[in-house]
Amino acid sequence: MAKYFFIAGEVSGDLHGAKLIKALRQKDRNAEISAWGGDRMKEAGAKIEKHISELAIMGFGEVVAKLPEILRNFSTCKQNIKDFNPDAVILIDYAGFNLRIAKYAKKQGIKVFFYIAPKVWAWRKSRIRKLKAYVDKLFVIFPFEKDFFAAHGLKVEYVGNPLIERMNEFRPDDTFMSKLRLPPKYIALLPGSRKQEIDKIMPCLLALAQNTPDENFVIAGLEKAKPFLEHFSYPPNIKIIYDNTYNIIYHAHSAVVTSGTATLETALLACPQVVVYKTSKLTYRIANMLVDKTYLKHISLVNIIAGTEVVKELIQEECNTGNLSRELQNIHYKEDIRENILKEYKLLRGKMGNNNTSGKIASYITEHLLPRD
């Protein structure tokens, strides 16, 4: 039996953490697990010391505003780890916070595993040094990352992408369209889940719907983002459905997707998409200065993994009604464009493999922690 301390700071990390906890329990049935995470990790058997609802922070301005709270969180987390005295700390994404905790855990002589690497191939390459110093094993989810980190001397393993696991588990609801009385050719809208991104993206999406009254739109909302979405007034050609994102994407004819993991999910569900992104001018200006443009030529995961522009990206000022209407018409009605995108999606999925991500990580961790027979 071993003791594991997990840290996930966002909804996606909570989901990935839950799957890994379940896989760990299959290898180590007496595992004791404490965590900073969410409801899914709790359901998987972790004792939650701090909930992700208290942790999500987005944008440079918000980091500065909440600095005292962030510093208190570091102190609290370190104390939780000290009190629990785990055999391993398993860090999931959430790099700004987790790299500091990695340093602390390593100094305490605790094994440190990092799942879903910081995107240092895009920006903040200084973090490579910290990963090398404080992380015993790095588990990466994009094929190109293994060679990148190995070249910098890290112990790294490509374990496949957890989204593939989720895609394999997804079973489309054949009654979805009729049950919700949806039109046969609707456009899915994915505005994100955080208040900041919803506030920036939704005005553009609303203008799109108002300017194309003959089209039908379905917003894939998350229940936790409902208060943010309810601030807006919607035209009659928009319908909001909560917590059924995969069915919304699967049955849609095309989609407009806020940059993030959702772009990759949309590709794996074979729905042609336009990617949009907007943030504050200050945040974008700072990020633009930090990004390594010699390596990162795209913003969406679809284009980054493919290494070419598979889907159109509309960023900041380019994300306007005119551009969005034009690009959406292309993917919604032009069969040659749609077919090319779908062909590239298949190649993308082939690059990502079809691996048991959580099982691979669990096997590695337990093999390095548990005594052998």
Helix 357-369 vs helix 11-27: angle between axes, to the nearest 10 degrees? 60
In the chain, the domains with their CATH numbers are 3-160+355-369 (3.40.50.2000), 169-352 (3.40.50.2000)
Q: Closest Cα to residue 357, out of 168, 131, 120?
A: 168
Q: Which helix (H) or strand (E) holds 255?
A: strand 254-258
d(CA 157, CA 361): 9
Q: Closest Cα to residue 279, out of 346, 337, 198, 338?
A: 198
Q: Residue type for 118, please? A: P
**Token pair for residue 154?**
């890290």
CB-CB contact of 172 with 149 (8 Å): no
DSSP structural state of residue 317? G
pLDDT by residue (tens digit) across 274-284?
A: 999 987 777 76
d(CA 309, CA 161): 21
Edge-first strand order for the sheet with 254-258 is 238-242, 217-221, 187-190, 254-258, 273-277, 312-315
d(CA 55, CA 93): 13
- Res 289: pLDDT: 62
CB-CB contact of 57 with 66 (8 Å): yes
Q: Which helix (H) or strand (E) holds 137?
A: strand 137-140
Torsion (CA) 11, 209, 276, 161 in degrees, nearest 10? 40
Sign of CA dihedral 14, 20, 23, 29: negative
Q: What is the mean pLDDT of the chain?
A: 90
Residue 213: pLDDT above 60? yes
**Token pair for residue 263?**
């772009």
Residue 8: pLDDT above 90? yes
- Res 29: pLDDT: 92
Residue 28: pLDDT above 90? yes
- Res 61: pLDDT: 47
pLDDT by residue (tens digit) across 331-345?
A: 999 999 999 999 999
d(CA 219, CA 225): 12
User: Residue 369: which pLDDT band, with cuts at 50, 70 and 90?
Assistant: confident
Residue 3: pLDDT above 60? yes
Residue 115: pLDDT above 50? yes
CB-CB contact of 137 with 335 (8 Å): no
Entry pTM: 0.81
Parallel, antiparallel, or unpaired for β 137-140 and 111-115? parallel
Residue 136: pLDDT above 60? yes
Cα 282 from chain centre: 23
Question: What is the mean predicted confidence (pLDDT) over 256-273?
Answer: 95
pLDDT by residue (tens digit) across 288-324?
A: 665 666 556 788 999 999 989 999 999 988 999 999 9
How many residues can be counted in the chain? 373
d(CA 50, CA 40): 13
